[in-house]
Amino acid sequence: MASNSTSTLFFLLLLPVLFVCVTPQQQKHSTQINLDSSISPRSPRSSWSSPSGYFQFGFYHEGSGFKIGIWLVGTEQNTVVWTANRDDPPVTSNAILSLDQNGRLLLRTEHGQKKIIANTTYSATSASMLDSGNFVLYNRSHIIWESFKYPTDTILGDQVLSAGQELFSSQSDTDHSTGRFHLKMQLDGNLVLYPINTDDSSIDAYWDSETFGNGFKFHLYLNRTGLLAIMNTSSSEMVSRLSLGGGGGSSSSENNQKVALYRATLDSDGIFRLYSHGVDDKNNGKVKEAVMVWKALKNPCEVQGFCGINSFCTIFDEQPNCLCIPGSDYVDFNQKTLGCLRNYTDEVCVDGKENTTFYGMEKMDNILWGDIDYMEASMSMEECKNSCLEDCNCGAALFAQDDYGRDLCKKQKLPLRYVRRDFGNSISTTAFIKVSKMNETKSINGTNSVPTTELVPPRRTQQVITSKKVLIQILVTVIVFVIFSFVSLAISGIYIFKIRILRYKRLGEINGQMGLTGDEELIALRVFSYNELKKATDGFKEELGKGSFGAVYKGVLNRGRKLIAVKRLEKLIEEGEREFRAEMRAIGRTNHKNLVRLMGYCAEDSKRLLVYEYMSNGSLADLLFKQARRPDWDERVRIAIDVAKGINYLHEECKTPIIHYDVKPQNILMDDFWTAKISDFGLAKLLMPDQTRTFTGIRGTRGYLAPEWHKNTPISVKADVYSYGIVLLEIICCRRNLEMHVSNIDEIVLSNWIYKCFAGRELYKLVVGEDVDKKTLEKMVKVGLWCIQDEPVLRPSMKSVVLMLEGITDIASPPCPTSTSM
């Protein structure tokens, strides 16, 4: 090859034209890399591949430039498993990496700087990217350098993390420089996770393997089939097994030994996880997306240091979220994990005693923090609060009862570290945070005086949490199990109970009782004949209303003892009777106190009729918009939660999730006891068998339609969340989303007006003249505004909505719903 400067010039002049798009070239079976070889992002070859093609070593895209590393080929976003000099800035496409004539692996940047990639005492004679993911340099047949010896955030199959070595998490999925957490294989034999920049003392640790070598060194080892274990280095015996291992596909390993590639990564969220990547032998050189096999922690909020100082971690919409403690503001609103700082200055302290006229104590429940307190004493809750208030050193106090039921008060200086909110904790704690009273009195009028979050619309921070899907899965599991396990137990209990009853009662007979016992009725659908229904409705005489599917008539059964509502379906697409019956059975299987129950149906010739229980108190639309007097506030809150629960049931608890597609006050009916029940669910399928969206004219109602209906994006359960959000805002204000007869032009579109009031901290304007709990009002408004975000992914799930409305999870401040477009 010519001298390097000439070759650089050559590339500079010619290659931008030839290689506009930089794609790592896959060169297979190029096992040995000889001296005087080089790669560059601009050259045809920007990486060296392993014989199998699964791993590549070379330049990969990062930020606006390139870094040198090793990655798994084939995943959507190449999974980087090693990075050279990870904290150096990315280089430009003019950089060249070479194994030069002197046997050194050198990076030459655009400005002619040279950087040693592999620091070796001897010079190399060749190099190789091995199938294990290890990049090695040889001096003849001796390995003189290997990337496996210098792990970054990942170890691969057959790799070891020796005593004294550490893994450091990456900043994010797309930025592989050193992040915020490290995993240390300690000399004492314990494998421990800590946040960085701490003393690595026991209070900083948030996970450990609980292995102790008693003078012997241990190491962490991942074998090729997914066994992750702590090994005794001197005896090579296993001390503790972290993952099951043995390979997920041991059955098929006979004919195909390499079923999957494993990697254990300290992810950017601070959780150490083991992943497997399926290997597709037919499509050689491609691996599949990661599947998580094991993780060190389940609750991402238990990762100490996930949230910075003076902020606490809480799960919001199934993601960890950092909120400031009262009396503090985010250091940087766009990077909430950086923590918060007090936003007031201390008053003069005389003899260690605070002038209490300046301060107040803000109370929070179920808060935990990790730092060691400076004072611990037995005192009552009130004493605890006052003791901290008067003490200049005290920033916060934690009150709890110890194992023996004694009152215990712990006082803490600021800043607070490792704070989280934990509802699953068996001991309930009460925290008192010292806040400045000086600015508290300014808004007596309506909104809250000390909001814990900001009002500026947050921009989506760029920090992408590693394997979001996996995280969501963890959180869903945790939340579902902790909170809904009882509910589902109860539901399955009821089912079993009902199935038992079924055996004894004649199928299809409908119990004539109504009201509370109505919920206990059989879940058996009765098939009616057309004549029967004609008689029950007295020839379809009394029309109750007209819905998007057809008219609804009032009727009676059981010799006048049971009122029913008969819906005569029109505009039906042609559908066989069998499909119709299957659909009816699916709807009939639903059983929830906030859903209108289907009692039976009729499918004769082309006639399709549905029989529902009769709802005596009309619809929510009547209640909200037509009554002279507004239903009182508590009633509205209850209705809002009821409706959310009903939709959540459709989305999460049915065998196959049901998207309603048309949530609106007209479809929410009130029974004898003013319980809100959702109607018309499950019918969309009858008009739209393949769940496509070719029926825009038919489904949904203007005003409640999520913006994605107008775009070419798929409709998901989040469309219902949007509609619910609008309904929620309507419930709050007892008016329609669109109302022309208002005094002020700003108020025409309710959702816009509510956001304006929210941003201006003037929520009292929404409920003038009403006795309304301010906290609940703010909560409802926030949930409503989250639900109507343009961006479906920003909207919470209905499960989160229920949890937020019930006050079980915290609510971050919503951004402007339509910040992106329009």
Ligand X SMILES: *[C@@H]1O[C@H](CO)[C@@H](O)[C@H](O)[C@H]1NC(C)=O
Residues 6+ apart with CB under 8 A from 626: none
Which of 35, 160, 375, 450 contacts ligand X by CB under 6 A? 450
Tell me whether strands 419-421 and 79-83 are parallel, antiparallel or unpaired. unpaired
- DSSP character for 687? H
The CB-of-383 to ligand X minimum distance in angstroms stands at 19
The CB-of-449 to ligand X minimum distance in angstroms stands at 7
Q: According to the annotation, is 546 in a ligand binding site?
A: no
Which of 90, 245, 320, 588 contacts ligand X by CB under 6 A? 245
Q: How far is CA 813 from the centre of its chain?
A: 16
Q: Is 344 in the site for ligand X (CB under 6 A)?
A: yes
Q: Which of 740, 708, 698, 703 is nearest to 725 (CA)?
A: 703
Q: Is 35 in the site for ligand X (CB under 6 A)?
A: no
Identity of the residue, 142 or 505, whose beta carbon is nearer to ligand X in the bound complex: 142
Q: Is 162 in the site for ligand X (CB under 6 A)?
A: no
Q: Is 716 in the site for ligand X (CB under 6 A)?
A: no
Q: Is 404 exposed, middle or buried (0-12, 13-18, 19+ CB in 10 A)?
A: exposed
Identity of the residue, 75 or 123, whose beta carbon is nearer to ligand X in the bound complex: 123
The CB-of-326 to ligand X minimum distance in angstroms stands at 6
Among the listed ranges 61-69, 134-142, 190-198, 459-467, the one in contact with ligand X (CB under 6 A) is: 134-142
Which of 100, 173, 208, 329 contacts ligand X by CB under 6 A? 329
Tell me whether strands 430-436 and 526-527 are parallel, antiparallel or unpaired. unpaired
**Run of H or E residues at 72:** strand 65-72
Among the listed ranges 219-227, 483-491, 660-668, 703-711, the one in contact with ligand X (CB under 6 A) is: 219-227
Q: Is 255 in the site for ligand X (CB under 6 A)?
A: no
The CB-of-331 to ligand X minimum distance in angstroms stands at 13
Where b means 16+ CB within 10 Å and e means fewer, 477-511 reads ebbeeebbeeeeeeeeeeeeebeeeeeeeeeeebe
Q: How far apart are the first and last CA of the chain?
A: 57
The CB-of-231 to ligand X minimum distance in angstroms stands at 9
Contact letters for ligand X, residues 347-366 (x by CB under 6 A)? --------x-x---------
Identity of the residue, 310 or 679, whose beta carbon is nearer to ligand X in the bound complex: 310
The CB-of-378 to ligand X minimum distance in angstroms stands at 27
Identity of the residue, 109 or 818, whose beta carbon is nearer to ligand X in the bound complex: 109
Can you say whether residue 27 is alpha, beta or left, with left for phi > 0 and alpha for psi between -120 and 50 degrees?
beta
Identity of the residue, 225 or 467, whose beta carbon is nearer to ligand X in the bound complex: 225
Catalytic residue among 662, 720, 790, 810: 662
Q: Is 216 in the site for ligand X (CB under 6 A)?
A: yes
Q: Is 224 in the site for ligand X (CB under 6 A)?
A: yes
Which of 38, 232, 299, 701 contacts ligand X by CB under 6 A? 232
Q: Which of 47, 46, 42, 48 is nearest to 18 (CA)?
A: 42
Among the listed ranges 159-167, 213-221, 423-431, 665-673, the one in contact with ligand X (CB under 6 A) is: 213-221
Identity of the residue, 446 or 682, whose beta carbon is nearer to ligand X in the bound complex: 446
Q: Is 239 in the site for ligand X (CB under 6 A)?
A: yes
Q: Is 260 in the site for ligand X (CB under 6 A)?
A: no
Number of residues that bind ligand X (CB under 6 A): 34
Inter-residue contact 213 to 188 (CB < 8 Å): yes
The CB-of-41 to ligand X minimum distance in angstroms stands at 23
The CB-of-309 to ligand X minimum distance in angstroms stands at 14
Identity of the residue, 355 or 691, whose beta carbon is nearer to ligand X in the bound complex: 355
Identity of the residue, 139 or 299, whose beta carbon is nearer to ligand X in the bound complex: 139
Q: Is 395 in the site for ligand X (CB under 6 A)?
A: no
DSSP codes of every residue in 281-344: STTTT-EEEEEEEEES-S-GGGSTTSS-BTEEEEEETTEEEEEEPTTEEES-TT-GGGBEEE-S
Residue 340 to residue 332: CA distance in whole angstroms? 8
Among the listed ranges 225-233, 379-387, 737-745, 782-790, the one in contact with ligand X (CB under 6 A) is: 225-233
Strands (E), 558-621: 562-568, 598-604, 607-613
Residue 776 to residue 624: CA distance in whole angstroms? 19
Q: Is 748 in the site for ligand X (CB under 6 A)?
A: no
Amino acid at 173: D
**Run of H or E residues at 410:** strand 407-412
The CB-of-637 to ligand X minimum distance in angstroms stands at 23
Q: Is 140 in the site for ligand X (CB under 6 A)?
A: yes
Q: Is 80 in the site for ligand X (CB under 6 A)?
A: no
The CB-of-688 to ligand X minimum distance in angstroms stands at 47
Q: Is 438 in the site for ligand X (CB under 6 A)?
A: yes
DSSP codes of every residue in 690-726: T--STTTTTSS-TTT--GGGGTTS---HHHHHHHHHH
Structure-block tokens of residue 353: 């005693």
Q: Which neighbouring-strand residues pair with 526?
A: 600
Among the listed ranges 268-276, 401-409, 443-451, 550-558, the one in contact with ligand X (CB under 6 A) is: 443-451
Identity of the residue, 239 or 557, whose beta carbon is nearer to ligand X in the bound complex: 239
Identity of the residue, 73 or 230, whose beta carbon is nearer to ligand X in the bound complex: 230
Q: Is 234 in the site for ligand X (CB under 6 A)?
A: yes
Q: Which of 270, 314, 263, 310 is nearest to 289 (CA)?
A: 263
The CB-of-344 to ligand X minimum distance in angstroms stands at 5
Tell me whether strands 159-161 and 105-108 are parallel, antiparallel or unpaired. unpaired
Identity of the residue, 110 or 762, whose beta carbon is nearer to ligand X in the bound complex: 762
Structure-block tokens of residue 454: 């900001």
Q: Which pairs from 19-28 meet CB under 8 Å and 24+ separation? A: 19/43, 19/44, 22/46, 22/61, 22/93, 24/56, 24/58, 24/59, 24/60, 26/53, 26/56, 26/73, 26/285, 28/53, 28/284, 28/285
The CB-of-363 to ligand X minimum distance in angstroms stands at 15
Q: Is 187 in the site for ligand X (CB under 6 A)?
A: no
The Cβ of residue 331 has, within 10 Å, a number of other Cβ atoms equal to 17
Q: Is 183 in the site for ligand X (CB under 6 A)?
A: no
Which of 116, 187, 516, 738 contacts ligand X by CB under 6 A? 116
Which of 123, 335, 366, 430 contacts ligand X by CB under 6 A? 123
Residue 387 to residue 115: CA distance in whole angstroms? 59
Q: Is 223 in the site for ligand X (CB under 6 A)?
A: yes
Structure-block tokens of residue 636: 């509205």
Tell me whether strands 114-116 and 105-108 are parallel, antiparallel or unpaired. antiparallel
Helix 774-787, helix 750-759: angle, nearest 10: 120
CA dihedral 274, 279, 285, 290 (to 10 degrees): -40
**Three-state DSSP state, 55:** strand
Q: Is 143 in the site for ligand X (CB under 6 A)?
A: no
Among the listed ranges 60-68, 321-329, 531-539, 748-756, the one in contact with ligand X (CB under 6 A) is: 321-329
Q: Which neighbouring-strand residues pair with 277?
A: 261, 290
Distances in Å between the alpha carbon of 253 and those of 44, 224, 225, 257, 258? 37, 12, 10, 5, 7
Q: Is 445 in the site for ligand X (CB under 6 A)?
A: yes
Contact letters for ligand X, residues 675-714 (x by CB under 6 A)? ----------------------------------------
Which of 225, 314, 537, 751 contacts ligand X by CB under 6 A? 225
Inter-residue contact 646 to 720 (CB < 8 Å): no
For the question of residue 810 being annotated catalytic, the response is: no
Can you give the binding site for ligand X, defined by CB under 6 A?
A: 116, 119, 122-123, 139-140, 142, 213-214, 216, 223-225, 227, 232, 234-235, 239, 245-246, 324, 326-329, 343-344, 355, 357, 438-439, 445, 450-451
Known binding residues: 567
Active-site residue set? 662
Q: Which residues are annotated as a binding site for ATP?
A: 567
